[in-house]
Amino acid sequence: MSLMTMIVKMSEGLGKTCAIFFLTLLFSLPLGMIVALLRMSKVKVVSTITRFFITVIRGTPLMLQLLAVTYGPYYLFRANVSRNKLIPVVIAFSINYAAYFAEIYRGGIESISIGQYEAAEVLGYSKFQTFMRIILPQVIKRIMPSVTNEVVTLVKDTSMAFTVSYQEMFTIGKQIANSQTSFMPFVVAGVFYYIFNAIVDYLMGRIEKSLDYYR
Amino acid sequence: MADFNNMESMGGQKARNILAVNALRKAFGSLQVLKDISLHVEQGNVVSVIGPSGSGKSTLLRCISFLEKADGGDILYDGQYAVKDGVYATKAELNRFRTRFGLVFQNFNLFPHYSVMKNITEPPMIRGENREIVTERASALLKKMGLEGKENAYPCQLSGGQQQRVAIARALALNPEILFFDEPTSALDPELTGEVLKVIRQLAEEKMTMVVVTHEMPFARAVSNRVIFMDKGVIVEEGHPEQVLGSPQQERTRQFLRNYQR
Ligand SMILES: Nc1ncnc2c1ncn2[C@@H]1O[C@H](COP(=O)(O)OP(=O)(O)OP(=O)(O)O)[C@@H](O)[C@H]1O
Ligand SMILES: [Mg+2]
């Protein structure tokens, strides 16, 4: 198989790689905020359960979580494994990344001085207005570097989908590597991820820069 | 000097109490920080609160601005109960009471992601005021604070003194009946305290009602109608500034002022 055919075949999986990437961000970024708020809840039971959830997600391999979400329903309920693997893959990724984002959000929220809340309260902002207008924008600025890290990791983590044979770029590459006994597909995959992340880096840098107008 | 006690009710007419506090109590755990504090502030008066560190000055301001929940006592604004016998008015009522006072913090607490203008205009706009009216008022306030041309600056681009003056403008933009200051110059470099004290003095001349917690004795002496000396959660002595600062009656006051001069 020529290098060109290899690249073309693997590019066909790039759409699915992007699907995992964007759908995961779409769901995990807001879900992470909900998890962070539950984690910081004043209701002890809620915060304890949430903290346990986070330690489980962060303390076990993503690969295992992918297998659990994809095949768990079959072993538990004899339910059919869904034909479209994108759904379980995105669910597993979203839950996993939500746990990581939650801890980043929490760190950011807790780093905002209490004085910001007090000033807002005295000036008549409601709790919701305080969070949306005063706290959240400052949190976003502070956590951008950590979020960028996670997003870069997510690009590479999409390759984990091979564990459930979801036909994204890396899975196709691995199959080619096996059938052709060639290392070349891995090199191609490496280049793809590198370019993907170069774009991610550029875009995140732009966002960070746009928040540079204040300290 | 005239009879100090009569100066508060000039002309024999009973002045309107913008703020009245009766037997206010507050404890943090087993530490009783405010022990039956009573005070009142008449319209147009400036009351300075002095006292050693930990005497409860900040806690007092935080209780009357609802940042801290008092354990007992009354808080009245313009004769209306916000807190009666330790029982607070409803959330909506408290929010209405909040429009009556403004609070200026020691470390400004401006919103760093907002321009100077937005820091001042957003709170009144959140309360439903019209943008044009609020912007006009903010411009006038900035001019008064000597901050013309800083509308579009961000707090981080300003000196501490300028930031504090923005914070004062922000509080004034809500048209409060009374302003509270908690050591407004303590976080400033010494050469910047003057510009902040000057605007507070100017407000006093315009008969803005104010309560100022301060360590600036000459300022308290020059600007206040009344000085309150607090220690260990009680008001030890209060009266005309010349009396409290010039010839204090209580030994604790004398001791505090002596330590202060050294
Ligand atoms: N949130 C809190 N929890 C526990 N103790 C507190 C709290 N806030 C204040 N205190 C205590 O209450 C006492 C009074 O504090 P407060 O800040 O009112 O004093 P202050 O007169 O403003 O002092 P300073 O001149 O240093 O500002 C202090 O002993 C302080 O440690
Ligand atoms: Mg204090």
Tokens describing residue B38: 């009573």
Sign of CA dihedral A22, A26, A29, A32: negative
Q: State the CATH number of the domain containing residue A162.
A: 1.10.3720.10
Q: Which one of B24, B32, B33 would you pick to mutate in the ligand 1 pocket, going by the greatest count of ligand atoms within 8 A of its CB?
A: B33
Inform me whether the pLDDT recorded for B5 exceeds 60: no
pLDDT of residue A77: 86
- DSSP-based three-state secondary structure for B250: coil
- The amino acid sitting at B224 is S
What phi-psi label fits residue A102: left (phi over 0), alpha (psi between -120 and 50 degrees) or beta? alpha
CA proximity to B42, closest of B176, B177, B168: B177
User: Cβ–Cβ of A133/B122 closer than 8 Å?
Assistant: yes
User: Cβ–Cβ of B99/A141 closer than 8 Å?
Assistant: no
- DSSP-based three-state secondary structure for B60: helix
Do B135 and B115 form a contact (C-beta atoms < 8 A)? no
pLDDT digits (tens, 9 = 90+) for B60-91: 999 999 999 999 999 999 999 999 999 999 99
pLDDT of residue B229: 97
Q: Which residue has the tokens 């044979």?
A: A165
Q: How far does B168 lie from chain A, in Å, by closest CA?
A: 12
Residue numbers in A near B156 (CB within 8 A): 214-215
Residue B113 CA to its chain's centroid (Å): 25
**Residue A206 and residue B213: Cα distance in Å, rounded?**
45
Q: How far does A205 lie from chain B, in Å, by closest CA?
A: 19
| Range scoring the smallest mean pLDDT among B5-14, B62-71, B154-163 | B5-14
pLDDT digits (tens, 9 = 90+) for A32-48: 999 999 999 999 999 99
Q: Which band of pLDDT confidence, cut at 50, 70 and 90, is reported for residue B7?
A: very low
pLDDT digits (tens, 9 = 90+) for A110-161: 999 999 999 999 999 999 999 999 999 999 999 999 999 999 999 999 999 9
Which of A115, A120, A138 lies at the smallest CB-CB distance from B113? A138
Q: Which band of pLDDT confidence, cut at 50, 70 and 90, is reported for residue B15?
A: confident
CA proximity to A18, closest of A172, A124, A147, A168: A168
Do B99 and B174 form a contact (C-beta atoms < 8 A)? yes
Q: Exposed/middle/buried for B180, CB within 10 Å: 0-12, 13-18, 19+? A: buried
Inform me whether the pLDDT recorded for B29 exceeds 90: yes
Do B77 and B101 form a contact (C-beta atoms < 8 A)? yes
Rounded to a whole number of angstroms, the CA Rg of chain A reads: 20
Q: Which band of pLDDT confidence, cut at 50, 70 and 90, is reported for residue B13?
A: low
Sign of CA dihedral B210, B104, B79, B173: positive
Do A94 and A24 form a contact (C-beta atoms < 8 A)? yes
Sign of CA dihedral B53, B55, B61, B66: positive
**Using CB atoms and an 8 Å cut-off, which of residues 65-94 of chain A contact chain B?**
none
CA distances from B179 to A148, B10, B21, B203 (A): 44, 22, 15, 10
Domain of A96 in residue numbering reads as 3-214
Q: Which band of pLDDT confidence, cut at 50, 70 and 90, is reported for residue A74?
A: confident
Residue A108's CB is within 10 A of a number of other CB atoms, namely 21
Ligand 1 surroundings by CB, under 6 angstroms: B 28, 33, 51, 53-59
Inform me whether the pLDDT recorded for B206 exceeds 90: yes
**In chain B, alpha helices (H):** 57-64, 91-98, 116-126, 131-144, 160-172, 190-205, 217-223, 241, 251-261
Residue B255 CA to its chain's centroid (Å): 25
CA distances from B77 to B71, B81, B87, B207 (A): 18, 7, 15, 17
- DSSP-based three-state secondary structure for A33: helix
Inform me whether the pLDDT recorded for B10 exceeds 60: no
Q: In chain A, how many domains are there?
A: 1
